[in-house]
């Protein structure tokens, strides 16, 4: 009796808890039911979702359609007259088409075959997801580096430890990062400010390229990155996972553990504890060490959820703490010194001495805290109301190289409150949609050195999106509209009695998309979006010397908002395991694109003369292509190829845009030897990544033939890296231990990357051998 | 059920308690030292009453236009030169020179001559005058806060004072470390 009760509550919980993973309970499952023996379609078969009680029947052509599901695990029961009903465990993440082959005269239940595939696109905008093995391969890396596995995503880095994602050439404030559903709000404007997100917390990383994601904010003109944790557990018992990653180059070790439980005694109550420790020392390039490039990170999170059939609440608290050493030879603070380092082609010997875990000045210390309350209420059959409230604290200390003379510290303190009220409506005449409003308040203060002023900011928006799918699954149409307002105020009270004008921006954004399934395995999508982004605080109000870059930066408080018109055309061909091909072509025209313009003028300071740079606007166009192919060309061999090409042109100046990623290609050959008794899911793969030299940089203001353009030095040469990796899963005391071992930059190639600010001073890291282990833990006693 | 709720309430309370209650502290005074002024005093070694004082002042901070005096010296004359650094935004003005004296083994002050403004160190001219440091640190390496400067012929160009910060790598040369301060004055020797 007890067990049954638990099972029942478990099933209920399953539905409710997974529902909270994503607010969108609008997933649809569809496909055709056939007879395994006769291959004929089965009409009138009934399909029941045990957890929701939803039941549908297949039509005359054997097609079935289940709608209004939330992400999660379901038990789908399929029955047909004269058959013993069968049950299929089905993990639902997004819209899916799966065909079910039902043995008409059932003798063995195991013969039920579910084929088909998940529709890759949740929207008509290009979406890519890293999860499972692909995500395991990135364990131990920072969020930015992990996302590099996604085609079209590159990174902008400041040395070995700080990396930020760049989607199709756009980064920082143009990319929205959602950490567990909340807009990550740190000092994301600085190139040396990496997102304060622990990737170990996520069970999947989703990248939405392009501007179509109105739900998350109209300002995401570059795209959206979602770091999503697993839903809280729904089956009673204690479980968890331990991850370990070790890297040879900087002797970095990372350990992350999760412990979670659905409390058996309390229906509806689940909790999770998660923690990560990461520590690395100095990084080594092929020829020398980079002193003071260590990193220390300590993160943890606590989550608890309590759900009833029609309402539920979830609490989440996380803390991200890191200390990042900044390579001593990079903290220049004087233009002459910078030019001297560039002339020498390598850092001075006193900065390249050897290995140490010690972090000394200059360094950064960052703490990020997130507290979130999420709740939902079912509004009858019609839909579901979701309320999310969150608060974030972001503390950042930047300590320059210590000297009796320097102004050597900047402390930034940003507090953010977010609120979001969203109503998801279930299927209504083929339409599924979401309507909602969001609000955000921010308060920033600094101490010591001034770079961005004290300010307060208030932002609110309202949106409405709808999606329609034809009943034959051929067409998917979607569209949405959003209105945003953003205001900066209280900018007084700054050092030197500097005062800045207030600003108030507002506008509409919208998107429209269509997808047509030409064949079952081949579809084409077209998406058009207009997005809008108000200038960020540094673009408006920055003032002062940027120590790392050795330039003087001036904001412009009268910048107009950026308006992006983006068009995506994507083709997707997918015949399951055998072959998958994707091509995404995009054209993005951005009016009033904001960027930092180098100039010939200099600002004279007590540290010498510095080039003056300022934020300005131009109309720019960005067109490009991301393409990938995965081909299982022989039973045990797979080839995958990715290409990413971008052309970014400044229409106003009739010249190239500065700081844009160059073309890159990646090829990977994998061999799957097959399972042995003890080793399963084995693979070995060799990959070649090829990054071309960036030849498209803006011309020198005075000398057009100068290869350096407006930069201090010409873009570095292209490079090719070789990487080798092997993985396996072995049984360890009844638990499957997954092992990945590999080496990056196998040949210890010496190279520099155009998107790394350190290209002026130092080479990129040399060979890096790594080992990654993952051990899922199950302590369930009640196997009901 | 009541127990459930109380457990839940305790959890919420714990979570809130775990959050920082720290509010933004009120804006502190800038307690970092910022150099606003470099003062050079040239005293004619042969005539103690012949003193030339030149200031490089930037009270408005980075980005504002500094006030820079022109240095006018006599040809074929030996001067004793002292370099002083101040933070004149503080009242009374803070003398930062002491900190260099305290960290003498990490600092070295250079006085260089250039034909044009903002030239590379490699282009500094040695034929304009002879500079001899008078002070030494614990490692017997020159500091440069006090020097003698023996001018040669007539010259019009620039005089640069550079404070190099060379922790652990000071070897008497310009190369190691980084620049803490660089003030350039127009110079006329006649």
Q: Poorest-confidence range of A546-550, A643-647, A703-707?
A: A546-550
Nearest CA in chain B to A446: B27
- Asked if B32 lies within 8 A of A266 by C-beta distance, the reply is no
**Spatial separation of the C-alpha atoms in residues A378 and A310, rounded to whole Å:** 5
Name, in order, each residue with C-beta under 8 angstroms of A307's C-beta and a sequence gap of 6 or more: A13, A16, A17, A20, A268, A313
Backbone angles phi, psi at A515, to 5 degrees: -130, 135
Tell me what the mean pLDDT of segment A427-449 comes to.
89
Contact by Cβ (8 Å): A487, A503: yes
Residue B94, SS3? Answer: strand
Whether cis (ω within 30° of 0) applies to the bond prior to A406 is no
Whether the predicted pLDDT of A729 surpasses 90: yes
- Out of B19, B33, B106, name the one closest to residue A317 (CB): B19
Nearest CA in chain B to A307: B8
Paired tokens of A637: 């061999």
- Asked if B176 lies within 8 A of A403 by C-beta distance, the reply is no
DSSP lists the bridge partners of residue B99 as none
pLDDT in tens, A276-303: 999 999 999 999 999 999 999 999 999 9
Contact by Cβ (8 Å): A465, A478: yes
Contact residues, B window 105-144, toward A, CB-based 8 Å cutoff: 106-107, 117-118, 120-121
Q: Poorest-confidence range of A9-18, A32-41, A475-484?
A: A9-18
Whether the predicted pLDDT of B12 surpasses 60: no
> What mean pLDDT is reported for chain B?
85
Mutate to test the interface with A, among B8, B88, B105, B182 (most CBs of A within 10 A): B182
pLDDT band at A558 (very low <50, low <70, confident <90, very high): very high
pLDDT in tens, A253-271: 999 999 999 888 888 899 9
Paired tokens of A397: 């200390």
Residue B59, SS3? Answer: coil
Tell me what the mean pLDDT of segment B15-22 comes to.
48
Whether the predicted pLDDT of A12 surpasses 50: no
> Chain centroid to CA A678: how far?
34
Location of structure tokens 């729904």: A234
* B177: region left, alpha or beta (phi > 0 left; psi from -120 to 50 alpha): left
**Contact list, A608 vs chain B (CB under 8 Å):** 118, 179, 182, 184
Tell me what the mean pLDDT of segment A124-153 comes to.
89
Whether the predicted pLDDT of A10 surpasses 60: no
Nearest to A612 by CA among A544, A562, A669: A544
**Spatial separation of the C-alpha atoms in residues B165 and A605, rounded to whole Å:** 17
Q: Does B168 touch chain A (CB under 8 A)?
A: yes
Whether the predicted pLDDT of A20 surpasses 50: no
pLDDT band at B27 (very low <50, low <70, confident <90, very high): very low
- The interface pTM score, or ipTM, of the predicted complex is 0.82
Contact by Cβ (8 Å): A212, A123: yes
Residue A661, SS3? Answer: coil
pLDDT at residue number A116: 56
Share of chain A above pLDDT 70, in %: 91
Name, in order, each residue with C-beta under 8 angstroms of A617's C-beta and a sequence gap of 6 or more: A559, A560, A562, A592, A593, A594, A595
- Out of B30, B58, B121, name the one closest to residue A448 (CB): B30
pLDDT at residue number A3: 44
Q: Can you point out the beta strands (E) in A635-718?
A: 637-650, 655-656, 664-671, 679-691
Number of alpha carbons in the 13 Å side-chain half-sphere of residue A694 = 28
**Spatial separation of the C-alpha atoms in residues A171 and A176, rounded to whole Å:** 9
pLDDT at residue number B160: 96
- Asked if B63 lies within 8 A of A369 by C-beta distance, the reply is no
**Spatial separation of the C-alpha atoms in residues A772 and A566, rounded to whole Å:** 39
- Out of B34, B118, B165, name the one closest to residue A403 (CB): B165
Name the pTM for this structure. 0.84
- Strand order from edge to edge, sheet including B71-73: B71-73, B178-189, B155-165, B107-114
**Contact list, A447 vs chain B (CB under 8 Å):** 25, 27-28
Whether the predicted pLDDT of B186 surpasses 70: yes
pLDDT in tens, B40-82: 999 999 999 999 999 999 888 777 889 999 999 999 999 999 9
* A294: region left, alpha or beta (phi > 0 left; psi from -120 to 50 alpha): beta
* C-alpha distance from residue A289 to each of A3, A285, A322, A352, A767 (Å): 60, 6, 22, 5, 13
- Asked if B32 lies within 8 A of A415 by C-beta distance, the reply is no
**Spatial separation of the C-alpha atoms in residues B30 and A409, rounded to whole Å:** 10
- Asked if B120 lies within 8 A of A609 by C-beta distance, the reply is no
Mutate to test the interface with A, among B66, B179, B183 (most CBs of A within 10 A): B179
Tell me what the mean pLDDT of segment A18-22 comes to.
38
Share of chain A above pLDDT 90, in %: 54
Whether the predicted pLDDT of A50 surpasses 80: no
Residue B150, SS3? Answer: strand
**Contact list, A448 vs chain B (CB under 8 Å):** 28, 30-32
pLDDT at residue number B59: 85
Nearest CA in chain A to B23: A415
- Out of B7, B176, B183, name the one closest to residue A350 (CB): B176
Cα end-to-end span (Å), chain B? 97
**Spatial separation of the C-alpha atoms in residues A500 and A486, rounded to whole Å:** 16
Other CB atoms closer than 10 Å to residue B5's CB: what's the count? 11
Name, in order, each residue with C-beta under 8 angstroms of A440's C-beta and a sequence gap of 6 or more: A183, A185, A416, A417, A418, A419, A457, A458, A459, A460
**Spatial separation of the C-alpha atoms in residues B62 and A139, rounded to whole Å:** 43
Q: State which of A65-79, A600-614, A629-643 shows the largest mean pLDDT.
A: A629-643
Q: Does B163 touch chain A (CB under 8 A)?
A: yes
Q: Poorest-confidence range of A11-25, A52-66, A329-343, A526-540?
A: A11-25
**Spatial separation of the C-alpha atoms in residues B190 and B175, rounded to whole Å:** 31
Name, in order, each residue with C-beta under 8 angstroms of A457's C-beta and a sequence gap of 6 or more: A440, A441, A442, A443, A444, A486, A487, A488, A489, A537
Nearest CA in chain A to B32: A407
- Strand order from edge to edge, sheet including A170-171: A153-158, A162-167, A170-171
pLDDT band at A753 (very low <50, low <70, confident <90, very high): very high
Nearest to A92 by CA among A63, A52, A148: A52
pLDDT in tens, A458-499: 999 999 999 888 877 788 899 999 999 999 998 877 766 677
pLDDT at residue number A496: 64
Contact by Cβ (8 Å): B100, B109: yes
> Chain centroid to CA A41: how far?
41
Mutate to test the interface with A, among B62, B67, B68, B88 (most CBs of A within 10 A): B62
> Chain centroid to CA A544: how far?
32
- Asked if A608 lies within 8 A of B96 by C-beta distance, the reply is no
Nearest to A75 by CA among A60, A90, A86, A62: A90
Contact by Cβ (8 Å): A545, A398: no
A783 or A90, greater pLDDT = A90
Q: Does B19 touch chain A (CB under 8 A)?
A: yes
pLDDT band at A621 (very low <50, low <70, confident <90, very high): very high
Question: What is the β-pairing status of strands A113-118 and A46-49?
Answer: unpaired
Mutate to test the interface with B, among A261, A606, A608, A761 (most CBs of B within 10 A): A606
> What mean pLDDT is reported for chain A?
86
pLDDT in tens, A630-689: 999 998 999 999 999 999 999 999 999 999 999 999 999 999 998 888 888 899 999 999
**Spatial separation of the C-alpha atoms in residues A622 and A585, rounded to whole Å:** 11
């Amino acid at each position: 009796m007890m067990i049954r009760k638990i099972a029942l509550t478990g099933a209920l919980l399953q539905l409710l808890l997974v529902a909270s993973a994503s607010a969108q309970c609008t997933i649809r499952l569809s496909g055709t039911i056939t007879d395994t023996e006769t291959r004929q379609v089965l009409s009138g078969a009934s399909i029941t979702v045990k957890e929701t009680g939803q039941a549908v029947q297949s039509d005359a052509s054997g097609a079935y359609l289940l709608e209004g599901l939330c992400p999660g695990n379901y038990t789908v029961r399929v029955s047909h007259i004269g058959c013993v009903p069968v049950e299929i465990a089905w993990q639902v993440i997004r819209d899916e088409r799966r065909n079910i082959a039902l043995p008409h005269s059932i003798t063995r239940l195991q013969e039920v075959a579910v084929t088909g595939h998940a529709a890759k696109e949740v929207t008509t905008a290009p979406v890519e997801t890293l999860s499972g093995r692909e995500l395991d391969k990135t364990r131990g890396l920072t969020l930015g580096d992990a996302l590099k596995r996604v085609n079209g995503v590159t990174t902008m880095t400041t040395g070995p430890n700080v990396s930020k994602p760049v989607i199709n050439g756009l980064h920082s404030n143009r990319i929205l990062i959602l950490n567990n559903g909340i807009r990550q709000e740190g000092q994301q404007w600085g190139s040396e400010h990496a997102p304060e997100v622990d990737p170990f917390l996520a069970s999947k990383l989703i990248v939405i390229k392009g501007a179509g994601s109105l739900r998350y904010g109209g300002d995401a003109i570059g795209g959206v990155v979602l770091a999503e944790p697993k839903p809280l557990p729904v089956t009673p018992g204690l479980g968890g996972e331990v991850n370990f990653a070790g890297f040879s180059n900087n002797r970095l070790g990372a350990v992350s553990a999760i412990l979670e439980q659905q409390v058996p005694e309390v229906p509806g109550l689940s909790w999770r504890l998660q923690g990560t420790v990461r520590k690395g020392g100095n990084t080594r390039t092929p020829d020398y060490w980079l002193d003071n490039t260590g990193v220390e990170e300590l993160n943890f999170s606590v989550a608890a959820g309590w759900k009833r059939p029609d309402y539920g609440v979830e609490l989440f608290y996380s803390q991200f703490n890191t200390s990042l050493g900044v390579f001593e030879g990079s903290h220049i603070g004087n233009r002459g010194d910078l030019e001297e380092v560039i002339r020498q082609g390598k850092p001075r010997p006193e900065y390249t001495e050897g290995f140490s875990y010690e972090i000394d000045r200059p360094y950064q210390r960052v703490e990020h805290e997130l507290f979130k309350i999420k709740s939902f209420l079912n509004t009858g059959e019609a839909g579901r109301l979701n309320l999310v409230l969150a608060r974030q604290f972001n503390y950042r200390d930047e300590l320059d190289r210590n000297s009796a003379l320097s102004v050597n510290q900047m402390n930034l303190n940003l507090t953010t409150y977010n609120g979001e009220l969203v109503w998801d409506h279930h299927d209504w005449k083929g339409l599924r949609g979401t309507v909602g409003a969001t609000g955000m308040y921010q308060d920033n203060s600094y101490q010591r050195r001034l770079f961005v002023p004290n300010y307060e900011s208030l932002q609110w928006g309202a949106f409405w999106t709808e999606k329609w799918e034809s009943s034959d699954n051929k067409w998917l149409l979607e569209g949405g509209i959003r209105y945003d307002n953003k205001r900066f105020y209280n900018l007084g009270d700054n050092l030197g009695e500097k005062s800045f004008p207030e600003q108030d921006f507002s506008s509409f954004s919208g998107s429209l998309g269509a997808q047509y399934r030409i064949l079952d395995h081949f579809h084409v999508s077209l998406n058009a979006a207009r997005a809008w982004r108000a200038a960020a605080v540094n673009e408006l109000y920055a003032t002062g010397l940027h120590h790392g870059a050795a330039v003087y930066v001036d904001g412009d408080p009268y910048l107009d908002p950026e308006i992006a018109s983006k068009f995506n055309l994507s083709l997707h061909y997918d015949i399951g395991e055998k072959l998958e091909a994707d091509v995404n072509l995009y054209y993005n025209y951005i009016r009033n694109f904001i960027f930092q313009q180098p100039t010939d003028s200099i600002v004279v300071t007590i540290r010498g003369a510095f080039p003056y740079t300022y934020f300005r606007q131009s109309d720019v166009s960005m067109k490009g292509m991301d393409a990938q192919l995965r081909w299982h060309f022989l039973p045990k061999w797979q080839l995958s190829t990715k290409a990413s090409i971008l052309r970014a042109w400044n229409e106003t100046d009739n010249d190239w845009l500065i700081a844009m990623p160059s073309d890159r290609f990646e090829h990977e050959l994998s061999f799957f030897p097959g399972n042995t008794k003890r080793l399963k899911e084995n693979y070995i793969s060799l990959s070649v990544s090829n990054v071309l030299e960036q030849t498209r940089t803006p011309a020198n203001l005075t000398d057009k033939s100068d290869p350096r353009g407006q930069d201090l030095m010409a873009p570095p040469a292209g490079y090719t890296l070789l990487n080798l990796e092997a993985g396996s899963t072995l049984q360890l005391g009844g638990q499957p231990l997954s092992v990945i071992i590999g080496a990056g930059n196998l040949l210890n190639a010496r190279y520099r990357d155009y998107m790394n600010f350190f290209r002026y001073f130092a080479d990129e890291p040399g060979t890096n051998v790594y080992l990654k282990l993952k051990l899922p833990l199950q302590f369930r006693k009640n196997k009901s | 059920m009541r127990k459930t709720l109380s457990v839940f309430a305790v959890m919420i309370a714990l979570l809130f308690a775990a959050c920082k209650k720290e509010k933004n502290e009120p804006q502190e005074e800038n307690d970092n030292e910022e150099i606003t002024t470099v003062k050079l005093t040239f005293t004619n070694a042969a005539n103690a009453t012949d003193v030339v004082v030149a200031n490089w002042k930037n009270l408005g901070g980075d980005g504002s236009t500094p006030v820079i005096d022109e240095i006018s010296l006599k040809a074929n004359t030996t001067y004793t030169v002292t370099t002083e650094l101040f933070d004149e935004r503080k009242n009374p003005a803070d003398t930062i020179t002491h900190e260099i004296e305290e960290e003498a083994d990490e600092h070295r002050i250079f006085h260089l001559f250039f034909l044009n403004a903002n030239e590379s160190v490699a282009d500094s001219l040695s034929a304009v005058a002879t500079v001899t440091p008078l002070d030494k640190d614990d490692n017997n390496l020159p500091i440069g806060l006090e020097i003698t400067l023996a001018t040669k012929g007539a010259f019009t160009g620039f005089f640069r004072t550079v404070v190099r910060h060379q922790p652990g790598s000071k070897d008497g040369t310009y190369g190691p470390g980084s620049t803490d301060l660089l003030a350039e004055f127009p110079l006329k020797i006649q």
